[in-house]
Amino acid sequence: MSAAFIYTILSLSIIAVISAVILYFTARKFKVEEDSRIHEIESVLPSANCGACGYPGCHAFAEACLKAEVLEGLYCVPGGNECMAKIASILGKTVTEKVPMIAVVRCNGDFNARKKTTNYDSAKTCEIETFTYAGDTDCAYGCLGLGDCVKVCPFDAIHMDTTTGLPVVDEDKCTACGKCVIACPKDIIELRKKGLKNRRVFVSCVNRDKGGPALKACKAACIACGKCVKECPFGAIVLENNLAYIDDDKCKLCRKCVVVCPTRAIHEVNFPPRPVQKEEGPESVTKEIKRN
Amino acid sequence: MFANIKTFPVGGIHPHDSKLSAKQPITVLPLPETVSIMLSQHIGAPAVPVVNPGEKVKTGQLIAKSGGFISANLHSSVSGTVLKMDQVVEASGFKRMAFIIKVEGDEWADGIDHTSAIKTEITASSDEIRRKVADAGIVGLGGAAFPTHVKLSVPEGKKADFLLINGVECEPYLTGDHRLMLERAEGILIGVRLALRATGIKKALIGIEANKPDAINHLNRLTDDDPGIEVVPLKVWYPQGGERQLVKALVNREIPPPPKGLPIDVGCVVLNVATCYAIYEAVQKNKPLIERIVTVTGDAVKNPSNFLARIGTPIKQLIDAAGGLPESTGKILSGGPMMGKCLSTMESPVTKGTGGILLVPDNDAHRKEVQACIRCARCVSVCPLGLEPYLLMTLVEKDMLDRAEQEKITNCCECACCSYTCPANRPLLDYIRLGKFNVIQRMRKQEKK
């Protein structure tokens, strides 16, 4: 009996030793020389493999950084300037700073502002609903609320607000990778500058219909009245295709447009609350269309 | 009754045909108060307006010119004043440009014969026929609305030897073509002869499904003495009215795969019976395409009917004329139950492509709960193009467009047999349609590069 054990152990050990020798020599023969800096770069990257840099993952981006002569045109969106500075120091190259951006949802048509006029019950994705028809409200431009943007976000930074049926961006998590911008079939989500102290002013509507039909479809729509354009002291607002758009390069965050907008389509984010308006406040405020 | 009856060999289904309005004669719908005539009612470039708001127009007057070779002229369907050009909600729910015309009397433009007298004698030459068809703005009335003059112009280097006339009407519920074949058969046959002359083809085959024996007999009687036109009864089998299936069923030829393959590649020209009638009216009577037959039907509809409605009539008026909107209605479809599009408003106007209005009761209108695919392959066995819908849906869902392209997603004709037959209620066609669109877009982009 004991002899059987000994033979087994012996033969297995011999196989193990031979395999080890073969493996050792094959490993030496087929060794791939990889720059150790790739691992260093990868360790500073966020490892989300989001693809926002244009490469199929963080490893590919690290390789691209290593190969590139200048870091111009290479940018890790989620990592931001901090990450790029680290990469630059690893490689001994220089990098220019980029302005931080954030995804902004430009639709304000919650359940109160625009009523559902039809009942959509096919596949629950925005892409297919857009392909089937204009949408289940009268507004053919607005958010469909089926959450293609939520499904595509690699950072869990966008969520559906069930009380409004609109997506909400988590400012701390959003890295402006732009995946939701591509996923949204209605082109509602836009990447905008994060702004000073995270403060932003933007038109929260993409309805390109004329004023009357737009307001009929949604009480919170931009009706292209042009008041904001007249009010803006910096010429930052343009009216195109029946829709106001605020250029975030020119906007100085004075918030004058927010006050004059009759449908409250212009939003301000992260500003301290305004002082309480007096009764005889500006005429435009009293004329506001009341939302139910 | 019909021995050795023909059909296409692969896939297909037989939904209950529910032809409720088959016995109802065509009734002329009273003129509406205003009409909205969409600028783009056909495949191809939108028409370019030639009248301005405020102008008076007569019935049959040209109001918008064809915007390219694949495009069609547009004529006023009523006489009155053009109120404005405005955005009107079309069947898809999107707003598109349209003429809004206020109806004042019914004064026809000069030179149009709008009586019912039949003009048999054919004097027009081949070029003249094509020109008149193009002038009259005729498009395929089967539903796809492809400009007919393009079909009648056989491209150089290609030879057509069969003219196939589509009187199949395989969509359940719809009966417009059936009634037309019974009531206006003489006109249809003259239209067929005109099309034969325009294309230089010697032989026309009229395909009619066997559930319309009266139409088959009627047309057989009328074509007894004409060896150039033959009536072929076909098995009742959906989607036989599709171009590919019809060509296969009638002459056993296979059109090369889309998006490039056309019937002309296998020497066939396919026209709908209603289109033939429109050709007859345009060439013999100078009457442009300003009205069409619309079936208004549904299980709960009081009087399912076949109306001759002017283009631009609000759909609401048609529904009212058929006994009003039943309370139980859950969905209004423009077209038949298989391929029709759901309307988002009843204010949408009748266009050149509107074949029917189907009112679906609420308890039939909703999709059932989607379950997991059980790989029963029913969708594979019913697909008339031999595709694998269950696989295509998953590929589109997972965004694997390369593989979907290899699996010939672009061949899909959107007949909806797969969705109809799926026991797990999976939205197969919804995904395939999306994938097909994306793949075609991608192919075009690559071609440009």
Average pLDDT over residues B324-331: 90
- Please determine, for residue A286, whether its predicted confidence score (pLDDT) is greater than 70: no
> What integer best gives the mean pLDDT of chain B?
91
Q: Is B95 within 8 Å of A213 when comparing Cβ atoms?
A: yes
Show the tokens assigned to B132. Answer: 């008149």
Which helix (H) or strand (E) is A36 found in, with range? Answer: helix A36-44
Give the pLDDT confidence score for residue A174 in this predicted structure: 87
pLDDT in tens, B139-156: 999 878 899 999 999 888
B366 vs A121, A131, A140: nearest CB: A121
Residues of chain A neighbouring B93 (CB-CB closer than 8 A): 118, 133-135, 140
pLDDT in tens, B105-124: 888 998 888 888 888 888 88
Residues of chain A neighbouring B342 (CB-CB closer than 8 A): 118, 133
Nearest-Cα distance to chain B for A215, in Å, is 15
Give the pLDDT confidence score for residue A291 in this predicted structure: 43
Q: How far apart are CA B328 and CA A46, in angstroms?
A: 56
Give the pLDDT confidence score for residue B431 in this predicted structure: 94
- Please determine, for residue A76, whether its predicted confidence score (pLDDT) is greater than 50: yes
Residues of chain A neighbouring B370 (CB-CB closer than 8 A): 123
Residues of chain B neighbouring A121 (CB-CB closer than 8 A): 366-367
Give the pLDDT confidence score for residue B3 in this predicted structure: 56
B431 vs A123, A133, A140: nearest CB: A123
Size of the A and B interface in Cβ pairs below 8 Å? 45
Among A87-91, A220-224, A271-275, B85-89, which stretch is predicted with the lowest mean pLDDT? A271-275
Nearest-Cα distance to chain B for A64, in Å, is 25
Average pLDDT over residues B354-358: 92
Instruction: Calculate ∠ Cα B97-B102-B105, nearest 5°.
Output: 140
Which of A78 and B316 is assigned the larger pLDDT? B316
Q: Is B430 within 8 Å of A132 when comparing Cβ atoms?
A: yes
List residues of chain B with CB under 8 Å from any CB of chain A: 87, 89, 92-95, 341-342, 344-345, 366-367, 370, 427, 430-431, 433-434, 437
pLDDT in tens, B396-416: 999 899 999 999 999 999 999
Which of A68 and B126 is assigned the larger pLDDT? B126
Give the pLDDT confidence score for residue B297 in this predicted structure: 94
Which of B100, B342, B348, B433 to substitute to test the interface with A, most A CBs within 10 Å?
B342
Q: Is A133 within 8 Å of B342 when comparing Cβ atoms?
A: yes
Q: Is B433 within 8 Å of A131 when comparing Cβ atoms?
A: yes
User: Is the torsion defined by CA of B239, B243, B247, B253 positive or negative?
Assistant: negative
A135 vs B93, B342, B434: nearest CB: B93
> What integer best gives the mean pLDDT of chain A?
86
- Please determine, for residue B195, whether its predicted confidence score (pLDDT) is greater than 70: yes
Q: How far apart are CA B133 and CA B243, in angstroms?
A: 21
Q: Is B434 within 8 Å of A134 when comparing Cβ atoms?
A: no
Query: Of the candidates B205, B215, B251, B212, which has an alpha carbon nearest to the alpha carbon of residue B235?
Result: B212
Give the pLDDT confidence score for residue B201 in this predicted structure: 92
B94 vs A119, A140, A213: nearest CB: A140
Considering chain B, what percentage of its residues have pLDDT values greater than 70? 99
Q: Is A127 within 8 Å of B366 when comparing Cβ atoms?
A: no
Give the pLDDT confidence score for residue B2 in this predicted structure: 54
Give the pLDDT confidence score for residue B142 in this predicted structure: 83
pLDDT in tens, B210-255: 999 999 999 999 999 889 999 999 999 999 989 999 999 999 999 9
pLDDT band at A278 (very low <50, low <70, confident <90, very high): low
pLDDT band at A288 (very low <50, low <70, confident <90, very high): very low
Show the tokens assigned to A176. Answer: 């402006």
Question: Which chain A residue shows the shortest CA-CA distance from B332?
Answer: A118
pLDDT in tens, B59-110: 999 999 988 888 999 999 999 999 999 888 887 778 889 999 999 988 899 8
B431 vs A119, A128, A209: nearest CB: A128
Nearest-Cα distance to chain B for A103, in Å, is 23
pLDDT band at A131 (very low <50, low <70, confident <90, very high): confident
Q: Is A128 within 8 Å of B427 when comparing Cβ atoms?
A: yes
Long-range contacts of A113-122 (CB under 8 A, 24+ apart): A113/A218, A113/A219, A113/A220, A113/A221, A113/A291, A114/A138, A114/A139, A114/A142, A114/A217, A114/A218, A114/A219, A114/A220, A117/B344, A117/B345, A118/B93, A118/B342, A118/B344, A119/B366, A121/B366, A121/B367, A122/B367, A122/B427, A122/B430
Average pLDDT over residues A134-141: 86
Q: How far apart are CA B303 and CA B322, in angstroms?
A: 5
Give the pLDDT confidence score for residue A283 in this predicted structure: 47
pLDDT in tens, A166-182: 999 998 888 888 889 99
Q: Is B437 within 8 Å of A131 when comparing Cβ atoms?
A: yes
Residues of chain B neighbouring A122 (CB-CB closer than 8 A): 367, 427, 430
- Please determine, for residue A275, whether its predicted confidence score (pLDDT) is greater than 80: no
List residues of chain A with CB under 8 Å from any CB of chain B: 117-119, 121-123, 127-128, 131-135, 140, 209-210, 213
Give the pLDDT confidence score for residue A184 in this predicted structure: 93
Which helix (H) or strand (E) is A245 found in, with range? Answer: strand A243-246
- Please determine, for residue B432, whether its predicted confidence score (pLDDT) is greater than 90: yes
Q: Is A118 within 8 Å of B94 when comparing Cβ atoms?
A: no
